[in-house]
Amino acid sequence: MAHLVNDANFDAEVLGASEPVFVDFWAEWCGPCKAMDPILEDLSASLAGKVKIVKLNVEENVGIVTRYNVRAMPTMIVFHKGEPVDARVGAGQSRVQLTKWLDQFAA
């Protein structure tokens, strides 16, 4: 399962990570977010050690959502060296598309 982050540990877990970090901004009520879960679980295993995959519940972590101006779910942002480097919005991403996208950031 992808690691959960929140307002309290985001800076340490995401911004302070040595490897690139893929953050899935999701909500419990978001059907497309739930549809992405199996893909993210698979990517979390296949990219272990190269890209860290974490999830942030937007309803419970308004501080981070506001900081990165997240307005739609799911929003996926890749952070590297403490900075957001790329983002995608929406669940229309296949496993192949996400893998290809994340491979360019893989350590």
Residues known to be catalytic: 30, 33
SS (H, E, C) 44-83: HHHCCCCCEEEEEECCCCHHHHHHCCCCCCCEEEEEECCE
Contact between residue 101 and residue 76 where contact means Cβ atoms under 8 Å apart: no
Q: What count of other Cβ atoms lies within 10 Å of the Cβ of residue 75?
A: 21
The residue among 18, 5, 19, 1 whose CA lies nearest residue 68 is 5
Q: What is the CA radius of gyration of the chain?
A: 12
